[in-house]
Structure 1
């Protein structure tokens, strides 16, 4: 029985592809789920980022203390997935445009945060920063100010979640980012070259390409890694499987 339990734990761990990153006050556990969706665990708190893929995608995960949502689109605010999760003890951290779409009493608390604001949620510092398309136009898929990228401060580590964005000045000018999750899917966000160029500018310690499925299939994350490390060899590019069905 003990051997079987150990095998099941190992299979669960490898299926999710979890990473552990040390901070001065405990580890951050990172679990890729699907596309732009991930789970972070830190100091006994569990954070779901843009829950998507159905509640079954979170089987084996702890219930969320915090849910972060970046934007209104269905691969970020996915109400069907949210409806299948137990959110009665969850604080949802969302931009105003998402808050307007959430059913009443769907979670313990809804905290609205806008670009430029910082709040402490469940003892984790959450800063909202812009995410948007370039050039800025009236018909943009992601207009500036509607959605949020997020910077989470966990101990002595800063985690950047890009949301749906292009290589905007606010990203390029980031400082002291330890872990970055960077999107790259056309025609919605940016291409691999743009993403690599931005990462070379702000040089996070570790970068995960995520959200890389576009209309023409999956982005070339191997090329992204090559481009980044050709100019910024000290940036650790971690390639993980965000599309387990492929």
Structure 2
């Protein structure tokens, strides 16, 4: 009887140790999960904020950004809206592609003008570029051609025009030079974040077209930069 009690005591002690080890393993697993979550959070902190500007999404961002323009501002953005110009921006440099609508100098390119619905489905820059190269002209060459992307040599400049008070932004934009000619993309106001299929677009409106890029979700939107932001020329001449 005494021997039986000892055996039960040993078994109970063993069960207690096993439970303690299981608890430790579970706790270690939780710590690992927390570390993993911390890493994910750290990654999110380095990502672009939900309220985007020229400053944080273009000037200070080293990743490739692709912006797609509409033919006009006459219609609301939708899956059948055609993409006219495509601007690629990275590290202060720009490249651009455009669709040669009614341009007889480029026969055989009218395969199917890319729409925002196409962009929404393709999603990734590599797939989007592969499609665009089939029928969109590279503007960075002396003699524009399709099938390539050529970066403009001169770095981008950024500007802000203020309102009458001089304290608020009325317009902002990007200045670029190609072929010795300087051009401006002037943004009048933010464009409404719009969903097409499961993809969201946000950006700016110019006087005659929208300037959109893909964003993560419906809570991401663009706002105007402030006049005191570094890197902008405020109220430039000309």
TM-score between both structures, scaled by the size of structure 1: 0.26
The higher relative CO (CA closer than 8 Å, separation ≥ 6) is in: 2
- The structure where helix makes up a greater share of residues is 2
